Chains A and B, each alone.
Chain A
Amino acid sequence: MASGVKPRVKAPKKAEAGEVVTIKTLISHKMESGQRKDKEGNIIPRSIINRFTCDFNGKNVIDVTLEPAISTNPYFEFEATIPEAGELKFTWYDDDGSVYDEAKNVAIG
């Protein structure tokens, strides 16, 4: 697992039924592109987050493929419709096989 990886999510705790809410996510990750060389001239192997997903009560909200040109600490802001109370589940997939999770509950009212 890459070092210093920490997912962060900002989502509302409450929403009206059917409301469209804004969700912000950020994961600290160095997103090593695989294009750089170290001091000895050897290529530093690629190590990026290659996929990010968000599900609401098991239903997919967004599914993103990330490429090496995406900068360090990738940040996503997107909207989701909240039809009922439930759980937003966020998942980041690392090149090295690690999976990072975060979940937020949204209440109706």
Chain B
Amino acid sequence: MKFKAMTAIAALAVSAPALLLADADDDTLIVNGEIEMITKAPAPEHLSGVLDEIVSGWHMRSDETQVMQADDFDNPGMIYTEQALDDWNAVNGTKGKSCASCHGDVEESMKGVRAVYPKWNDSKEKVYTMEMQINDCLTDGMGADAWKKSGAQMAAMEALISVQSRGMPMNVAIDGPAEATWEWGKELYYTRTGQLDLSCASCHEENYGNHIRSDHLSQGQTNGFPVYRLKNAKLTTVHGRFKGCVRDTRAETYSPGSDEFVALELYVASRGNGLSVEGPSVRN
């Protein structure tokens, strides 16, 4: 935090315009004039002594980008939810079923789902991400081919499911059977990788609010995923983002869908417990 204090003092000394102040802004996010988002919240208990407040990455973006997320017509991520709705209703596979055959109306059945994933799956005896659950439905439930992990079709379906939980606070369980996976995820979070020798914490815990080159570092919260990234004009999944981050440390990355990324996803999601589900959010 020493760094941030220095930045603030420097900014005051030269009385720089607000634009140069690095920390999270104080804007509020209300989507469609209806859904009030919790974009700042007290840190969950397991982060005591590490962080006081958790902040959505939305606060780290420019006003122009922030505004895009406040209206579904302006949010380019919403296009993909429409595409996913077609998939939701499309009969696929040998059993002649669609998602809707079992789950009915997505607005009813998927409400609250995004907020609690990843979560422990009793019958499979491991932590399940939404992607794993979607692929299980496709292969076992519908007799169809699994979708590519973190692929475009998968990201769109995750967006459709996320939309049903927008505004609800993230609340993933980290105790009970999920604890071992969570501990592993925590270990991965603090493990430095790559030629640049950076851990997740190096940027997203110790330096959020500061700039890394021209990029304004966030806390790396996952509540906004899948995100529509302006830089590549498509949805990015959590694992896709992890892969990008690890690659940027100049390390060989884990694969999307790997056990390592599943554990990390659970841990990172738990750091955001209390922030509203925003997906699909808009970031740069």
Chain A: residues with CB nearer than 8 A to chain B?
4, 6, 8, 10, 24, 26, 28, 71-73, 75
Interface range, B side? under 10
Q: Which of A6, A72, A75 contacts B82 (CB 8 A)?
A: A6
Q: Can you list 5 A-B pairs, Cβ within 8 angstroms, ordered by A?
A: A6-B82, A8-B73, A24-B73, A28-B79, A73-B76
A13 to chain B, nearest CB (A): 15
Are A71 and B73 touching (Cβ within 8 A)? Answer: no
Are B79 and A73 touching (Cβ within 8 A)? Answer: yes
Contacts of B82 in A (CB 8 A): 6
A62 to chain B, nearest CB (A): 18
User: How far apart sit A71 and B82, CA to CA, in the bound complex (Å)?
Assistant: 20
Identify whether the interface residues of A are mostly helix, strand, loop, or mixed: strand
Identify whether the interface residues of B are mostly helix, strand, loop, or mixed: loop
Q: Which residue of A lies closest to B86 (CB)?
A: A4
In this complex, which of B73, B82, B83 has the most chain A Cβ atoms within 10 angstroms of its Cβ?
B73
Chain B: residues with CB nearer than 8 A to chain A?
73-74, 76, 79, 82-83, 233
Are A72 and B233 touching (Cβ within 8 A)? Answer: yes
Are B74 and A73 touching (Cβ within 8 A)? Answer: no
Query: Beyond A71-B233, A72-B233, A73-B233, is A4–B73 a contact (Cβ under 8 Å)?
Result: no
User: How far apart sit A73 and B76, CA to CA, in the bound complex (Å)?
Assistant: 8
Contacts of A6 in B (CB 8 A): 79, 82
- 6 further A-B contacts with Cβ under 8 Å, apart from A6-B79, A26-B73, A73-B76, are A6-B82, A24-B74, A26-B79, A72-B233, A75-B74, A75-B76
B157 to chain A, nearest CB (A): 15
Q: Which residue of A lies closest to B83 (CB)?
A: A4
Contacts of B76 in A (CB 8 A): 26, 73, 75
Contacts of A4 in B (CB 8 A): 83
Q: Which residue of B lies closest to A71 (CB)?
A: B233
Which 9 residue pairs across A and B have the least CB separation, nearest first? A10-B73, A72-B233, A28-B79, A71-B233, A24-B73, A73-B76, A73-B79, A4-B83, A26-B73
Contacts of A8 in B (CB 8 A): 73
User: How far apart sit A4 and B233, CA to CA, in the bound complex (Å)?
Assistant: 15
Contacts of A24 in B (CB 8 A): 73-74
User: How far apart sit A8 and B79, CA to CA, in the bound complex (Å)?
Assistant: 10
Contacts of B79 in A (CB 8 A): 6, 26, 28, 73
Contacts of B74 in A (CB 8 A): 24, 75
B1 to chain A, nearest CB (A): 38
Contacts of A75 in B (CB 8 A): 74, 76
Contacts of A71 in B (CB 8 A): 233
Q: Which residue of B lies closest to A24 (CB)?
A: B73
User: How far apart sit A17 and B243, CA to CA, in the bound complex (Å)?
Assistant: 54
Contacts of B83 in A (CB 8 A): 4
